[in-house]
Amino acid sequence: MQNQKSASAVQEGRRSALPQVTETRNPGTGLDMDWLGAVAVNTSAVERRAASLPARRSVKKEYQAAWLLKAVSCIDLTTLSGDDTPGRVRRLAMKARQPVRRDLLAALGMEGLTTGAVCVYHEMIAPALEALEGTAIPVAAVSTGFPAGLSPFRLRVEEIRESVAAGAREIDIVISRRHVLTGNWQELYDEVKTFREACGPAHMKAILATGELGSLRNVARASLVSMMAGADFIKTSTGKESVNATLPVSLVMIRMIREYHRRTGIRVGYKPAGGISRAKQALTYLTLIKEELGNEWLSPHLFRFGASSLLGDIERQLEHHVTGHYSASYRHAMG
């Protein structure tokens, strides 16, 4: 009976759990300094709201399984290590194609589930594309001198063009943190706009490196300027900072997305990255998105997790739901 209920819950959300392709882009707007100057953040209120989320009773049983499958579809399965090899990337791409064991998906009545994308360095685009051939899974490439963003500007722009030419359909750029820390919003706007133009048909995710921006108000302003300059997604972190995705930062960024949509009618995506490794955390982030932005954002074309180890824990939780037992982590390898 439990498996039948699980299958019913999963079947109901099957279409939304599968990868979705959209042509929607953020064309950007002019730099509105009046709007930017009016941005304010009540830090204590943000922290109270963020602290309330994990303390709530989470979804259980078949509904939890359905939400975890949704989370899988929104993962940018990532490897960004100095010792990456073509073989490692191919194995990761194969995991993206089949992120959850077939027997577990069969028990849940689910078919065709993949991750949202595979995210790699420029040098690893070719093996990723080779392993993903025949699927709709996009390759995302980090760019613009990732993670510091301090290489010469012309080289950062050219790196974007090279990755798009190599087949990347999504580009994760890093902003110059100094523009935020010094309040040089025109420079930040011009930089991100130039990156957006270099992306051409590829969707652009702007990484703010929020752990290095100094304040939640700076996070809010950097989010807004990046969206004005045409970012299709705003992303918390590179995963290389000492502080990466947090719930207070996420709440601030999500509310700026909501305000940008209210004023312009344009939907911009959100990607928390770094430090999200547990299924319970994924459920908290999905709850935050649903409550603050609505169901429209609960889709891979508007929400992604930047993660790798998260998938293993989700698969482990799904096995517990199906069998009643927790398995060893080695049974859910990334490749």
Question: Does residue 84 have an active-site annotation?
Answer: no
8 Å CB contact between 102 and 143: no
Strands across the sheet with 117-120, in order? 269-271, 233-235, 203-207, 170-174, 139-142, 117-120, 75-78, 305-307
Contacts 24+ apart (CB under 8 A), 36-39: 36/185, 36/221, 36/224, 36/225, 39/217, 39/220, 39/221, 39/224, 39/256
Catalytic residue among 76, 205, 235, 313: 235
Q: Which two tokens stand for residue 311?
A: 């998938």
Q: Which two tokens stand for residue 44?
A: 């204590």
Question: Does residue 172 have an active-site annotation?
Answer: yes
Catalytic residue among 76, 172, 232, 313: 172
Nearest to 232 by CA among 262, 195, 259: 195
Catalytic residue among 95, 205, 271, 313: 271
Question: Does residue 235 have an active-site annotation?
Answer: yes
Query: 109 CB contacts (<8 Å, ≥6 apart)?
Result: 6, 7, 8, 10, 11
8 Å CB contact between 58 and 280: yes
8 Å CB contact between 232 and 268: yes
Q: How long a stretch of residues is the chain?
A: 335
> Which residues are annotated as catalytic?
172, 235, 271
